[in-house]
């Protein structure tokens, strides 16, 4: 019961330590790769959505 009463977020208020440069570089490369994949995915899925939407639209008789 005593363990449940502890707030884990209070431990985060401690001093920040520097990250080793090689770890920082790896994390930044991973973030850049993830961002690139997300942008490419958005590019392709957005195009497919527009194509499918255009194919499914029907013209009204008044046109």
pLDDT tops 70 at residue 3? no
Instruction: Identify which of 29, 31, 50 has the alpha carbon closest to the alpha carbon of residue 39.
Output: 31
pTM higher than the cut 0.75: no
Exposure string for 31-58, b = 16+ CB within 10 A, e = fewer: eeeeeeeeeeeeeeeeeeeeeeeeeeee
pLDDT in tens, 25-43: 999 999 999 999 999 988 8
H or E stretch covering 17:
none
Domain boundaries, the chain: 19-58
Instruction: Identify which of 40, 17, 21 has the alpha carbon closest to the alpha carbon of residue 29.
Output: 21
What percent of the chain has a predicted confidence (pLDDT) above 70?
Answer: 87
């Amino acid at each position: 019961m005593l363990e449940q009463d502890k707030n884990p977020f209070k431990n985060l208020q401690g001093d920040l330590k520097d990250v080793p440069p090689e770890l920082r570089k790896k994390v930044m490369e991973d973030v850049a790769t993830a961002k690139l994949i997300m942008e490419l995915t958005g590019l392709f899925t957005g195009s497919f959505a527009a194509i499918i939407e255009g194919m499914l639209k029907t013209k009204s008789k008044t046109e």
